[in-house]
Amino acid sequence: MSTTATEIRLASRPTGRPTPENFSIVDTELPSPAPGEVLVRNLFISVDPYMRGRMSAAKSYVEPYEVGKAMLGGAIGEVLESTVDELRPGDTVLHGLGWRSHAVVDAQRVSKVDPDAAPVTTYLGVLGMTGLTAYAGLLEVAEFRSDDTVFVSGAAGAVGSVVGQLAKLKGAKRVVGSAGSSAKVKHLIDDLGFDAAFNYKDAPVAEQLAAAAPDGIDVYFDNVGGEHLEAAIESAKPHARFAVCGMISLYNATEPPAAPRNLTKIVGKRLTIRGFLVGDHFDLQKQFIAEVAPLVRDGKLRYEETIVEGLRNAPQAFLDLLDGANTGKMLVRV
C-alpha cells in the first residue's frame, strides 16, 4: 500500500536571500517500507540556519540539496508501519528526513525517544543537536572556565540561549548577549539570566559590547560573524577562546564581508579561534543528556520555541528564521 506524502522541494538555487520561488510543494506517493525500513508520519520538523548553505551548490562540509528533490532536516514523528522488531507502530522517533509529511526511513537511521520523559519538541531542540551544539561549543571548543566573561551573539536563538544559560549555571563571571530586538534583549536579561544584553541594530556592536563588558571577554560564542566577530576580537582579553558555530549574517551575502578588519590583533592577543561542527562531538551525547536533561526538567535551564503551523508554511518559516524572527528553536508542526 502506498502513502500520499507532501514534500517541500528545492525548486532552484537562490542567489543572495532565498525567496518562496526557490521552493516547491509537491504531493507524491510513497511505497510501503521495504525490509529494514519504517514508515513515519512526521509531527514536527526543524528549520535551521545551516540549511541555507545546503541550498547552494558550493562545496561544503555536507552535501548540497538536490534541485527538484525534497530537502532534508531533523524531524520527530510517529511510526505507522515497521518491518523491524525494534520499532513498532505508535513509537515516537527522531530521524533526518524532515521537510515532508511522511517518510520511509532506514531503521538504522532512526532513534526511538520517550515522549513521556520530555516534550517531543525538545528532542529537536534543547535536548537534541541544538543543545549538544551549545554544550560542546562552550565546554569543549571554547574550554569554558568558571569566572570567564562570555559573549554570545545571536543569543536569543536556539543555540545561543542555551550557551548563555549554561555559562551562568557553571559559574561565569559575566554573560553578555546580542539580539535583534528590544523584546529579545529583555527576554535574555529577565527570563534567561544574562547579565547584560544589547540590540545590535541600535548602535555599532563594538561600542555596545565594550559598554556591556568593560573588562573584556574571555569567551566568544559566534553565531553571527561579520561585525560581531570584529567586535569580539576588539573586546577579547589576551588568550581569549572563540567557538565559531555559525555566521548567519553572511549566509545570504553575494559580496565578501567588510568585517572583521582587525584580524592582526589575533596575534598580539594570542587568541584561539576554532570553528566546529556538532557532528564531531557526538561522543559527548550521553554526558550532555545526563547533565542537561535534569536542568530542563527542573526549570533551571529554560528553552523557547517558535512553532509555525502547517508543513506548507515551512518555506516561510525558514525565511523568517534567516531574518531573526524566531525566539529560541524554530519548528514547524506538520
Q: Are residues 95 and 81 part of one domain?
A: yes
* Residue 46 counted as domain residue: yes
Residue 1 has pLDDT above 80, yes or no: no
Q: Average pLDDT, whole number, for the chain?
A: 95
Q: Are residues 117 and 43 part of one domain?
A: yes
Q: Are residues 189 and 100 part of one domain?
A: no
- Domain final position from 240, 264, 279: 279
Q: Are residues 135 and 246 part of one domain?
A: yes
Q: Which H or E run includes 39?
A: strand 37-46
Q: Are residues 323 and 188 part of one domain?
A: no
Q: Are residues 187 and 243 part of one domain?
A: yes
Its domain, for residue 223, covers 129-279
Give the domain CATH number at 208: 3.40.50.720
Q: Are residues 36 and 173 part of one domain?
A: no
Q: Are residues 154 and 41 part of one domain?
A: no
Q: What would the pLDDT profile of 224-236 be if each residue is shown by its tens digit?
A: 999 999 999 999 9
Q: Give pLDDT, residue 59.
A: 83
Residue 2 has pLDDT above 80, yes or no: no
| For range 49-60, the mean pLDDT | 91
| For range 23-43, the mean pLDDT | 96
Question: How many angstroms separate the Cα of 324 from the Cα of each of 154, 180, 224, 319?
Answer: 9, 7, 11, 9
Q: Are residues 120 and 46 part of one domain?
A: yes
Q: Give me the DSSP letters along 304-333.
A: -EEEEE-GGGHHHHHHHHHTT--SBEEEEE
* Residue 290 counted as domain residue: no
Q: How many structural domains is the chain composed of?
A: 2
Share of the chain above pLDDT 70, in %: 100
* Residue 136 counted as domain residue: yes
* Residue 116 counted as domain residue: yes
Q: What would the pLDDT profile of 235-280 be if each residue is shown by its tens digit?
A: 999 999 999 999 988 888 878 888 899 999 999 999 999 999 999 9
CB 286 within 8 A of CB 255: no
Q: What would the pLDDT profile of 151-204 be if each residue is shown by its tens digit?
A: 999 999 999 999 999 999 999 999 999 999 999 999 999 999 999 999 999 999
Q: What would the pLDDT profile of 88-102 be if each residue is shown by its tens digit?
A: 999 999 999 999 999
Q: What would the pLDDT profile of 103-156 be if each residue is shown by its tens digit?
A: 999 999 999 999 998 999 999 999 999 999 999 999 999 999 999 999 999 999
Q: Give pLDDT, residue 255.
A: 83
Distance CA(181)–CA(8), nearest Å, equals 30
* Residue 298 counted as domain residue: no
Q: Where do runs of H (alpha helix) occur along 203-313?
A: 205-212, 227-235, 265-268, 285-297
* Residue 294 counted as domain residue: no
Q: Are residues 247 and 269 part of one domain?
A: yes
- SS3 percent helix, strand, coil of the chain, rounded to 5, is 30, 30, 40
* Residue 182 counted as domain residue: yes
| For range 16-45, the mean pLDDT | 96
Q: Are residues 275 and 166 part of one domain?
A: yes
Give the domain CATH number at 35: 3.90.180.10
Residue 62 has pLDDT above 90, yes or no: no
Q: Give pLDDT, residue 60.
A: 83
Q: Are residues 212 and 114 part of one domain?
A: no
φ/ψ (deg, to 5) at 275: -80, 155
* Residue 193 counted as domain residue: yes
pTM attached to this predicted model: 0.91
